[in-house]
Chains A and B, each alone.
Chain A
């Protein structure tokens, strides 16, 4: 870390020993929370455990709580926090494995695996394994899906959600967002079943109180809370049988079924 920076006190909470690891670190413009964690691991205590990979906000590995707010360590500049004391903790609402490493498998991904929002693709298996062209999807529809598909699976929304904190059954913003993304997609079928899966016994959309913590912490600025509200609306429309789901057509590319196919097989 460069000299002539500002000195800040870093306190990293280590739940397994219920103690803070304290360090005074000099930070300059651009220094991120992740830079500090790496600095501490390299120079002060090599046993400090935290996850990180891409260092550019793409992989969603480095979620931590900084001064009470779930953030991505690699995307959080220390000076922008305007504090002399920085407290870093593991993400809320997840069981801790060690230091800042939490178990996202159990409380987030497993719920998602169970739901499987991609229920059926609107074409035959043969078309999937040797496609003749693409589905015709209007750019406006595609853009809308892409916004929600931007989710990087970091789980900050799950860490911020008050309902998740007391209701283990609740699917949570991450899972519901993914369901909404597939609900919007005309390529995906069985929408009635998908929408059915969003409700039930405390786990579903009705348990969301629209506090919007999820939207506020999302590093991709996705309006997660709004998605959940929209799912509620779709649920009631579905119950009242006023939604019709249309399958898109396929734009057939002629050359794909002609000269090259010999070589492909």
Chain B
């Protein structure tokens, strides 16, 4: 594969073409804070925490390192004063949006921010709109049961029309990937509740232990082409 040479914090390194600045920095061992980046998911650049400064001195600009591809000879600064200033403001805005989120509080405290100058709309908000859950549902699970709705002031992650969605298979991957643990996911007495929909868990035909919701078994059957009855027996009894 063709390689591209670039400078990160004055250190020259070569990375394969198609890498993003964030991947190149991680390969070098430079720590760039991010909230919405996940190596298994396509980057969208929602959180704006991974900004870096690129270009030569008088004409530098800030770009998202998780979406900007490497260029030959590019000069990147990951912790310059301009970058740190931008990150601090982003964190203050995030802290105003989700003041109770532990992850944001910790990140902000690391940068020396303990309270935000901006007004908080909802003091109990936890969602930071990173979009990891939406991308997980679309790319990893492949059902697209949740999406972003509305424009900025009222933007939220939800199922279509705020109603329990038929597309959801109740796998809980969105709750797993959520960095601020805002998606309620309860499993109790053979019932699983997520996104307002209640899933009855199927019991194994042989041992009687719970396997998964019916919707998920149907999804597996559709993917593999096997009859759905094939999955009514748990993996230990199969």
- Our verdict on whether A and B bind, yes or no, reads no
